[in-house]
Amino acid sequence: MRFSKNLMLKLLPALLMMTAIFLFSARPSTDEQSSIWQNIIYKGGHVIGYALLTLSLWRGFDFDGKRIWLAWLLSIVYAMSDEYHQTFVPGRHPAVFDVVVYDNLGALISVWFARLLVKQKQPIHDGPVVENVTADG
């Protein structure tokens, strides 16, 4: 796959994902008590959002296999900053548990999935490849 050489264009999907996460967490909360289904949706949003952020950061690194863990780390750092951001939003509060469990789970799922895809694309060789050259050919 060929991507732009322009750093801003390569990181645009990650920046858009960060913006979406920021906007969702900037919404004031008026819920006194949420239902189990709301919790599942909210926590699922954490997992999906940070999985997509990690993958989009890795895309910005040209899908370099050595940089997948850097994409994970940057996602977790962003998750921590987002939880801090929530201290300024009415009705919201930071939750370390969200970062450690849900955001990290999403990032790790994308790392696992990405490594699975990379492993599938690598050719399997039983031994050294030797080219047979004959005088006829």
Task: Enter the pTM of the model.
Answer: 0.82
For residue 6, tell me if it sits in a domain.
no
Other beta carbons within 10 angstroms of residue 137's beta carbon come to 5
Of residues 111, 86, 110, the one with CA closest to residue 97: 86
**Could you report the per-residue pLDDT of 4-59, keeping only the tens digit for each?**
788 889 999 999 999 999 999 999 987 667 789 888 999 999 999 999 999 999 99
Instruction: Show the domain range for 82.
Output: 18-25+36-118
Do residues 107 and 51 make contact, with C-beta atoms less than 8 angstroms apart?
Answer: yes
For residue 12, tell me if it sits in a domain.
no
Do residues 10 and 3 make contact, with C-beta atoms less than 8 angstroms apart?
Answer: yes
**Side chain identity, residue 43:** K
For residue 60, tell me if it sits in a domain.
yes
For residue 9, tell me if it sits in a domain.
no
Q: CA 27 → CA 16, 21, 53, 125, distances in Å?
A: 17, 11, 20, 53
d(CA 39, CA 36): 5
For residue 1, tell me if it sits in a domain.
no
Q: What is the tally of structural domains in the chain?
A: 1
pLDDT at 1: 56
For residue 130, tell me if it sits in a domain.
no
CA 57 to chain centre: 7
For residue 128, tell me if it sits in a domain.
no
For residue 112, tell me if it sits in a domain.
yes
